[in-house]
Structure 1
């Protein structure tokens, strides 16, 4: 896979180089890759002036190359990933070309005469848009030469910090100034260091975990009876088929120390709750008996999960109590992108367990995108043989191009797919946890992996003289001369929606997915077609021009596609779902009756409008607001915090906890825009008439090359998501059905509500700090350890963690770490950090100023 197969792009680049090419040997290329120092420096994310044609926003960077010995070879190139395209470089001894997606090529120019030992050579360049978190500067630069095995340049590989176990980037110079953190001259995003957190974070007040659980139940009443010692275990009795559906939760209880055994406290279960809410339950804990009333196995399952939520690892004794509970939303979901960078099957199984622990019930599994196709489809082997691996093959007959810093290793964690057996196992595990899997194979945009794979299939069959069979599922039209660029900068990632082969392909894939569900004996209820971010394709497509001539009233090619695929999905007995931007292109009258729309427009840019419009159309709206539900964004605006940045600079668990999903425009009173400015939200024209269907968290994977990175971004935010999805807090501002204008001065979210919210956060934070983080550690989950708020106050260190129950350490001037004792604080400190409970892992350190 590492062999460089020269395609037209590379041939053009090599033949255009006006140099006396001296081709290296394989040994010389290997030696250069092992010793070439590559240093990337972000000079400014907001230069005073940006060259044309991107005058409104750009950033300025520098690459510096250095070798400890002389190198005369010039016939080589470096391929590297840069999320935003480089559009101007300073010339000199190197030139940089943007190829496709994030792939760039750095090559010597005629002025390059070789490397002199220990003499650095640099190239400065401007890149469009912005890049400001360190994780956005991708690793694994590739050194390549004609007819040689390409190699990863060693200095561009990531490392691992021994204390935090977080990824390090030795090739990337430190980020030290606001010039590297703010995207433009009007960006006022703060640098969230220890002192900022000290002045803006809420100091914990509770000294122990309160009598509650996550998510908070509707009603919890303490009984005037002796405490219940769950260490003796529980003994479920009753209907055997019902008990068989509870294995997942009884296994979790056993891992927490509450075994299912004959000597345990008897658990009496009855399915006679008499409510229309399928997931509702009543739970009574007494020393002699536990009683669960529900109207389904799902309700019993959640009652037992509540028992797990009441205990801590080191204390299985709880007060006698009763709980009466039911969910706020029918849809409580988590979206996992396994396409951009693959997630292992074990990651999905582990995630299902944690989702169920906090009563989430929908897994939206994003199985295909531009950078990968992750589900084996019977009869279409190229989808995974080609589409599930990235390497440096510019013909893309064996793999996809190495986008997103993929490197060359086909066995890397970022590569891979789920076999039919894997997917069946995932389906059955989800069913055991009462979670519905909603598969998504994003189309018509975000479809490059499928298109490249089907072109490889076409080439194979054409070479065998089977051109007709090759055309059966071909997804491109050779005579289409349309030039476009997707939002991820691809010029070839959108299915041709006017080709019959496109719909044959979709029908084939859906039938095979449906077959997998049948083999698993797990219902296939909902299919998410994607339908987002199509970017000006099909303008010069002969098929589309002909279709437009046949249907002069055609309102939108993308709308035509969504309507046609939705009809196919509905005919198979499935509910259709899609992202709100694409779903806005359809003629509502042409859509099925049962439609789900994921509303993902940012709230600071009137994101409530499309959510309300789609709800008012009678659709089931699932809130996917990126400024609060996208867990691929940083927890805090600090360059060391990984994540994307276009919709929000900081989404910590507290922001997720403070979300008021039933009243989207009201957040204009309490939140700010992505650049840190106040904003207004006018809800007087599109008043919501139908309640929302639910809420979903999102874990997009462009910047996550490992399962542990993904878990860092997901936990503990998933707990706050579950809190808002299940429980409606009394402090949430009720929706104004007459419509209203909200801004920081409108004052509808009163000081009393703010105090209620602050008190409720103290409850939640104490539960996380004293109980739930330890459970996550016990389950082996790599959650984010919180940053420590700290300042020198009255000539001594004052520090706290947003979650109580964690130890804090400080670093002295000699670089040694000590446990922080608030009763005997030091007079100074260099850095502070938190320590995970039941773990040796440390949190990310922050400087004390």
Structure 2
């Protein structure tokens, strides 16, 4: 087409207009923000006094209006000391800073402002994801330079912690290899014998036909260390490795015998044979996966083994922050090696929907994407520091239908059951906002019936609430018929995926956690239900209304309902106060509940629900929440609202009497003697309703695979031990002093076993970023003494304030404390190191 002068003029005008719109009032790169924690517990408020500094490196002043800085935090507010900066909550953990009436920042200048925020105890508490938005470009965010300074009382706190860790580590004594269990978790029974079996790629595997799949798996695994897969056959009695069936053995049990001439695995089921294979792999030297080996020596041993619990679960939260499919595959390899049999996938939350559902594209187009947004019509708000860019791999992402099917198949081949979770009715903002976009699109197209089909909120609801995480629009309205249409659709699509994968589906987890007060109180849809259904007495009874419907829907599909503890609870008014009590109406219906709340005042909850008839998975926050920080150090990432969880907390957990070994509460304060004397105990029926244990790893702080693995390991070893191994003697010993002595000996043995097991994870399944414990240290008689939780690491130090490296001086015995700035660090054989411990 011939271009006319008018056409060219219009193009020029458009270009000029676009250029004017894209021109910013100042260069964001010239602005730097420093967040300094100046005083903890400011004015006895529990808050931290923060000094916010804005530095202008540019050659012109920063305007006193026309822009805002967005960021994520658990809470922040103007301190009222000055009016330079105004802080407002946008929603959830999203806040923004705007210029106040006294704001003035000249070229090359610095502006300080006083703020208050929640208590800052570790790196997790620092705000994250700062970016600037101009009023005239509301759809775009510009990341800004940010520095943090948290020097308030830190050195003294770290010294106190170092001494505490040192005293804890004193319990750990070196134990010879031949006195340790041969594999982890500890087998029911084992006998070490003299001699070794020489494993090479020439060794043949003979299998009973029923175990052919497991035999091929073993051959494939051995090929990774031997360079070539051993041949697999049936009925060859001369083969070096025999996998045989004995129907008298319990379903998940196995027997493994290694002699100098042959390895034999006996089991009744494929699952038992698989666990025997995993134990055989664990008998290989931990360094075997580092490179191809010509041959491997396996010590002769006889193992008879079976799991304590039938439900040995790990919960992976990929909703708050996303992990790529390959990380899930790696995790499955890890879980199966240490004999977990359940992977609970938390697939949605306020901050993300992570699985493709055919027919509902908005769930992933909107609900799986996070970035700067004005109204959540194009994506979700950027939570947990994910920033303005929707391409952020932690904030955005989802599994396609094909991805999920692949995960199912991979897990099933390794005898792991996947439980998909769809958190409802709370924690559902990603789904709600996605279906809002669908609703708006179809309403504009004049398709009102279709628009309302999957709507998750009452558009006329005027209820006011705020969730624990700060959201005011994250709860599904359970009075709407469209809610059940939506959840039925999701359920049927998940069923179809499992069917295509050829993997059984027994349950879907529908959450039930943390619905805030105020929800549904001013909803016309809820008022209509209360009017029409006289069995629903009040708004609080909408809870039972909802889960009864979900339970019925699942039963019709031959599935059982799983959920968090609240599924088995009801809210009632006692002495004018609302309280949660066990709802017996839902008991004895094969409803499985993950009970996390054993915080002060709720210690009995798991046992109450089990005694009432619910199937309980112990998920106690104080012992099993792996997202809790290892300890109080400022450098440790992780939550701490339920206390601190190092490897010793899950190891010390006693499932049938978890009161017995609870030494401190969620605040780290000692529990007084006799505190648990009158607490509810499990009945025989309640004991039978304890299915097992689960360790969740919530992902608020997990912005990478490395951070996920750091909080996961080595804690996961202790969870594996407690879920599989027999009830230890120290757990049932009634003499308190003797029980503690027995525990200390067992704990020392376990720590030694973990220390020898960790090198396997340098290379297994691609290698894992496990945490190397920070050393403990104490200043005594003018000298520094130091130790480690796990034997086998080398302590190195510097005296000039520099960071120790793997060539720094080796710490041996003690060094003088005076006159030096001493820093300590632990190193493994592969150069992996701990955090730095600063003393003096």
> What's the counterpart of residue 447 of structure 1?
428
- Tell me, yes or no, if the aligned pair for 2:348 and 2:430 is still in contact at 8 Å: yes
Superposed CA deviations along residues 112-162 of structure 1, whole A, max 9, x for unmatched, are 24x2234321222234x5442212223221200134263343313xxxxxx
Partner of 1:283: 256
Deviation at 1:31, TM superposition (A): 2.0
Tell me the residue number matched to 2:574.
Answer: none
Q: Is the 8 A contact 1:236 1:243 kept in 2?
A: no
2:142 is the counterpart of 1:172: no
CA offsets, 1:489-545, max 9 Å, x none?
111000001010111100011001111111111111121110111112100111111
Q: Which has the larger radius of gyration?
A: 2
* Structure 1 Cα separation of the partners of residues 759 and 99 of structure 2: 51
Match of 1:397 in 2: 377
Aligned-residue offset at 1:233:
6.7
**Which residues in structure 2 correspond to 1:349-748 (within 5 Å)?**
349-414=329-394, 415-536=396-517, 537-554=519-536, 556-585=541-570, 587-590=583-586, 593-607=589-603, 609-648=604-643, 650-668=644-662, 670-679=663-672, 680-685=675-680, 687-689=682-684, 690-691=686-687, 692-734=690-732, 748=734
Is 1:45–1:180's contact at 8 Å kept on the other side of the alignment? no
- In the alignment, which residue of structure 1 is the partner of 2:747? 761
Displacement after TM superposition at 1:762 (Å): 2.1
Q: Structure 2: which 5+ residue stretches go unaligned?
A: 1-18, 233-237, 289-295, 571-581
Cα contact 1:214–1:723 (8 A) shared by 2:
yes
TM-score scaled by structure 1? Answer: 0.87
Q: Indicate conservation of the 8 Å contact 1:30/1:151, yes or no.
A: no
Determine whether 1:812 maps to 2:792.
Answer: no
Q: What is the CA–CA distance in structure 2 between the aligned matches of 1:563 and 1:465, rounded to whole Å?
A: 34
Question: Which residues of 2 match residues 58-73 of structure 1 at below 5 A?
Answer: 58-69=47-58, 70-73=60-63
Deviation per residue, 1:463-502 (Å, 9 max, x gap): 2121211110011111110001111111100000101011
1:241-390 correspondence runs (5 A): 242-257=211-226, 260-262=229-231, 266-275=240-249, 277-314=250-287, 316-390=296-370
How much does 1:109 deviate? 2.4
Q: Distance in 1 between matches of 2:319 and 2:660?
A: 34
Match of 1:219 among 189, 197, 200: 189
The one of 160, 163, 171 equivalent to 1:195 is 163
Counterpart contact for 1:481–1:540, Cα < 8 Å: yes
RMSD of Structure 2 on Structure 1 (CA): 2.6
Question: Per-residue displacement from partner, 1:625-651 (whole Å, max 9, x unpaired)?
Answer: 111111111001111101111111x21
Deviation at 1:582, TM superposition (A): 3.6
Residue 104 of structure 2 is aligned to residue 106 of structure 1: no
Inter-CA distance 202–570: structure 2 relative to 1 (3 Å threshold): farther
Task: Give distance in 1, aligned partners of 2:793 and 2:368.
Answer: 41
1:80-112 alpha-carbon deviations (Å, 9 max, x no partner): 111135375444122111121011121112322
- SS of 2:522's partner is coil
Contact 2:257 2:263 in 1 (8 A): yes
What corresponds to 1:161 in structure 2?
A: none
Output one character per residue of 1:592-648: Cα deviation in whole Å (capped at 9) or x when no partner: 7221111111254332x2111211122221011111111111001111101111111
1:45-73 superposed Cα distances (whole Å, 9 cap, x missing partner): 422333xxxxxx43332321111133242
CA shift in 2, pair 1:58/1:812, >3 Å: closer
User: For residue 14 of structure 1, what is the aligned residue in structure 2?
Assistant: none
Map of 2:75 onto structure 1: 84
Residue 703 of structure 1: how far off its partner (Å): 1.4
Cα distance, 1:546 vs structure 2:
1.7
CA deviation profile, 1:803-838 (whole Å, cap 9, x unmatched): 111122112226263555455754456111111333
Comparing 422-431 and 618-627, the one that deviates more: 618-627
Moved more, 72-81 or 41-50: 41-50
Identify if the C-alpha distance between structure 1 residues 478 and 575 changes in structure 2 by more than 3 Å, giving closer, same or farther.
Answer: same
Label 1:551 to 1:472 Cα distance change in 2 as closer, same or farther (>3 A): same
TM-score normalised by the chain length of structure 2: 0.88
Deviates most, 286-295 or 355-364: 286-295
The 3 A distance-change label for structure 1 pair 228 and 519 is same
Q: Distance in 2 between matches of 1:520 and 1:593?
A: 28
1:788 correspondence with 2:775: yes
Bigger mean CA deviation after superposition, 449-458 or 611-620: 611-620
Q: Which of 206, 211, 216 is 1:237 aligned to? A: 206
**Structure 1 residue 245: Cα displacement:** 3.5
| Runs (5+) with no aligned partner, structure 1 | 1-22, 51-56, 157-170, 182-189, 736-747
Checking the alignment, whether the CA contact within 8 Å between 1:284 and 1:323 is kept in structure 2 is: yes
Structure 1 position 75 matched with structure 2 position 66: yes
Distance 1:228 1:751, change over 3 A: farther
**Structure 1 CA distance, aligned partners of 2:361 and 2:775?**
50
Distance 1:720 1:628 in 2: 10
The CA distance in 1 between the partners of 2:356 and 2:135, in whole Å, is 33
**Cα–Cα, structure 1 residues 788 and 296, in superposed 2: closer, same or farther, change >3 Å?**
same
1:40, distance to aligned residue in structure 2 (A): 1.2
Post-superposition Cα deviations, 1:329-373, rounded to whole Å, max 9, x if no partner, equal 000000000000111101110000000110001000000000000
Query: Which is worse superposed, 390-399 or 590-599?
Result: 590-599
Contact 1:39 1:173 in 2 (8 A): yes
